[in-house]
Chains A and B, each alone.
Chain A
Amino acid sequence: MPLVYAGVCSHAPGITGRKHLADPEVSDAFYAAFDDMRSDLETSGAEAVIVIAAEHFANFFMNNMPSFAIGMADFYDGPIEDSGWLGIDKFKAPGNRDLSQRLIAEVMQTVDVAYAEEWLFDHGIAVPLHFLTPQFDLPVIPVNINCQGPPLTPLHRAWAFGEALGRAADAVPEKIAIIGTGGISHWPATPDSGRINYEWDLDFMDRWCRNDRDALLDYDDLNVYADAGQGGFEIRTFMAVSAAAGGAQGTVHFCEPIPIFAVSCTVASYDLSPQEA
């Protein structure tokens, strides 16, 4: 059935691992936005959540790097990072192998995708789940778009993948939520960590809210790298949600730079209610 929830959020490891170093006036508002996102997700009645992440070499490496991958297991362990470093205890998140198989089969009608029966969640999925399903009581369908090791899939292919995910959600009887996670501009884990191009972020989120395909595809990796850092490559995850949401209009609930988290911390969602003709 049609998607019941579509949104995006940040996933930087500092959000949980370095929370004590942030200005609480800003970070508390961000955490409150995450709480609202959890509430919206619960209200949607979602029976499973697709999390489109930009995985960080926890499972996929340059010896065999898929552009797109979808998890197909009943459970996923995480986080792969040291729990003390990330601020998240070890967990076992539920999956749904049968649902994954059906979604993958539908996606494969238009987009070639790798599947993975083993997947260790890193911060890209663990941080959002920490806030959105803290009891790990909602099956997760992990999805990865390679945003780390070039050559990266072109943006229009990430868009096509998002459309395929939307069609796949339509084709199954379960109520599916979809959440993209990543940074906008950021230079994570580099000497420039903490630098944020907030103006660029706001412009990107404006395009995202308008769900303007042409404007969203009007980037290339060279100018993203120059203006938004290598972390900016993760816009693919946000754009895939735009495509999956099929023209829905979005709202930014929170978008503020928190340098110690290395990113403009963001929570946004699309209005999926039926539109009048």
Chain B
Amino acid sequence: MKKFVNDPAKFVPEFMKGIALANPDLLDFNEEFQMVTRKSGPSSSKVSIVQGSGSGHEPAHVMAVGPGMLTAACQGAVFAAPPVDACYETIKAAASDAGVLVLVNNYQGDRMAWDMATEMATAEGINARQFWINDDVAVEDSLYTVGRRGVAGNFFVMKACGAAAEAGASLDEVEAVAKKVNDNVRSMGVALTSCIPPAKGTPIFELGDDEIEVGVGIHGEPGRRREKIHSADAITEELFEAVSSDIPFKSGDRVAIMVNGLGGTPITELYVIYAKAHELAEKAGFTVVRNYVGEYCTSLEMAGASLTILKLDDELEKLLAAPAETAARIF
């Protein structure tokens, strides 16, 4: 294993410290709870949005903190849910008279930690609620889930909820936005390689040189099937078919398309996938209104990609287009 690591046990606080140092006007970092908060703090008149999960998926979720997105986020160890006290402190740090919406990707560990933290915060008089995200169409139940997993579609939930909160929407309204996005977003991923958690030092699963895992999870969970690798177009067709047939999306739909890199795939390859996905969307009669190509929800250095399609309406289009400032940026 070759990695830029000092002490594997300090990997998470060290990269978080780097994120905070690189964004001094935007973020505050609390090392004890592995928590990042907006420098400007919560606004008493606006709903706060928080999230937290295992590390290894950056820029989700600590790099999504900032005006127009999350109010605060915390990280567990690599691929491990954050501890209850960190979740509780994150909700407290984001506490607002307008309420707190906790966006949780559907994994058992994350749900249990946030369940408890939300109950504790509620007992303290904080108006906090949870919303669970489950956009991955690959499998119904998985290693760490009952029901579908939450993956890259989470970005759209955070973005739309963050924008709605910024515009002054109530907690009920922001929760309705979360539900609308989650109901209309679908994703599936494919892995070309495994990934190596720093503390483990070895790949979390084995994949042959000529094999791909179709429907892989962002913690290396098994997907639908293992296949021999084929062309980028053929793989994209497989992802597009699985994702677009799920709601199903239909001709005339206005959509956002995301091609998300899983951490070890160059941007050029993501654009090869995007080109085919865009062509397939037009052929299916979709109007591609917004597109996203890059890394939004990764799995350490896994080579691979996921395709996400979100059905839009006027409200969601406006929320996605609203400005936001986070540590994840390209300029």
Q: Do A and B come from one complex?
A: no
Residues of B within 8 A of A (CB): none
Residues of A within 8 A of B (CB): none
